[in-house]
């Protein structure tokens, strides 16, 4: 069956603002287009203010492993000592003409692209690690966790610079500018499908 919906994947280092950006672009475009945010699954604990089923579907590690055993996920990985995964039912949504925008890490994005044709991949970044650090500090992230995430971010940024994987790159130092660029990319694909 042909997929008439479009899949947009956004990846970024921790603190680059991907969730805020995606929520804003979906709010602006979902009345005009059939565009939904992919709610992925995770085994990490909820942060203050997060809502199960709106930010993530929160599972225990055991529940996540049980779903892995049942081939529930199209892709999954274990980052920051927690599982993250995308449900396989997104294929049915794409076949029904629903376009989806989701947040995946670099590994997840590469796995999805092997299984679904014509994925629109976007790498979101900031111009320096200081901005990421400040954003993580605003979230009240534990200082040890911040250091760990900054090391991972350094590696992610290096990987993408050395061997680019993503079709589009957006710097998110200025939110309005980044939102405008992301909206332009998405609208150009949704109008042409």
Provide the pLDDT for residue 89.
Answer: 95
Residues 173, 11, 44: CA angle, nearest 5 degrees = 110
- pLDDT score of 42 more than 80: yes
Nearest to 4 by CA among 133, 136, 92, 111: 92
1 pLDDT above the threshold of 70:
no
Q: Please give the Cα distance from 79 to 132 (Å, whole number).
A: 18
Question: Mean pLDDT across the stretch 49-61?
Answer: 94
Nearest alpha carbon to residue 112 among 61, 172, 181, 38: 38
pLDDT at 72: 97
Average pLDDT over residues 13-33: 93
pLDDT of residue 141: 74
- Residue 193 pLDDT class (50, 70, 90 cuts): low
Question: What is the rounded average pLDDT of the residues 178-186?
Answer: 97
The kind and range of the H/E element at 101 are strand 99-103
User: Domains (ranges, CATH) in the chain?
Assistant: 7-187 (3.40.50.300)
- Low-confidence winner among 44-58, 115-129, 136-150 (lowest mean pLDDT): 136-150
pLDDT at 159: 94
Indicate if the pLDDT at residue 76 is higher than 60: yes
Identify the band that residue 145 occupies on the pLDDT scale cut at 50, 70 and 90.
confident
Residue with structure tokens 């994005």? 109
Residues 6+ apart with CB under 8 A from 68: 76, 83, 85
pLDDT at 30: 87
Res 81: pLDDT: 82
Q: How far is CA 61 from each of CA 68, 85, 108, 124, rounded to the nearest angstrom? A: 10, 12, 18, 28
| Alpha carbon distance 1, 8 (integer Å) | 19
- Which residue bears the tokens 């061997």? 163
The pTM of the full predicted model, rounded to 2 decimals, is 0.91
Q: How confident is the model at residue 78 (pLDDT cuts 50, 70, 90)?
A: confident
Q: Residue 36 pLDDT more than 70? A: yes
């Amino acid at each position: 069956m042909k997929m008439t919906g479009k899949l947009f994947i956004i990846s970024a280092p921790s603190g680059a603002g991907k969730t805020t950006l995606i929520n804003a672009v979906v709010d602006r475009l979902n009345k005009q287009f059939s565009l939904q945010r992919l709610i992925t699954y995770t085994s990490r604990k909820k942060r203050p203010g997060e809502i199960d089923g709106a930010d993530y579907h929160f599972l225990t590690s055991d529940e996540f492993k049980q779903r892995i055993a049942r081939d529930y996920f199209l892709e999954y990985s274990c980052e920051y000592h927690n599982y993250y995964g995308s449900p396989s039912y997104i294929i049915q949504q794409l076949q029904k003409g629903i376009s989806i925008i989701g947040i995946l890490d670099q590994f997840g994005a590469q796995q999805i692209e092997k299984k679904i044709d014509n994925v629109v991949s976007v790498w979101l970044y900031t111009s320096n690690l200081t901005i990421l650090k400040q954003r993580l500090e605003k979230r009240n992230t534990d200082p040890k966790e911040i250091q760990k995430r900054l090391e991972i971010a350094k590696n992610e940024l290096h990987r993408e610079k050395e061997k680019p994987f993503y079709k589009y790159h957006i710097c998110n130092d200025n939110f309005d500018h980044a939102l405008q660029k992301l909206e332009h990319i998405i609208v150009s694909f949704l109008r042409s499908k």
